[in-house]
Amino acid sequence: MFFIKLLTEFVAKLATFLREARLKTLSPPASSSSNHWNPVNKLVNVYYCQSDDDSLPLAITRYTSYDQEEKVLCVEQVIYENDVTYFQEQITAALECGVDVSILSAYPTSKFPVLTALIEGR
């Protein structure tokens, strides 16, 4: 029941997201261990929704990837409990791979410096 309430709130607030950023990948991720990594040169979206629900974990994030015809290929939801660094690394990696990111959190974007920089285009 909690999940359904949370999902409903997420969908409702997603329509009033705080900021949408369109980014182009310029360089490979710093943590990439693959020699076959090719940067994705496409626009990606970041949606950030701040909720006033203090019972939320650090963040609930949905990653949406698309096929070559821009049809949704996969949607994955991940709950981040408390590790800000890991959360920001995962978001950065997803965006660099051309995956859209939707975030629901009770915290303002200022709690996440990497995310703030991405949204502000720094």
Residue 103 near residue 91 (C-beta atoms within 8 A):
yes
pLDDT for the residue numbered 9: 61
pLDDT mean by block of 10 residues, the chain; 122 residues = 58 41 39 52 86 94 92 95 95 92 95 87 68
pLDDT for the residue numbered 108: 94
pLDDT tens for residues 54-79?
A: 899 999 999 999 988 889 999 999 99
**Average pLDDT of the chain?**
77
pLDDT for the residue numbered 64: 96
pLDDT for the residue numbered 42: 74
pLDDT for the residue numbered 44: 87
Alpha helices, DSSP H only, in 1-122? 2-14, 84-96, 113-120
Report d(CA 31, CA 52) in Å as an integer: 33
pLDDT for the residue numbered 26: 36
Residue 98 near residue 42 (C-beta atoms within 8 A):
yes
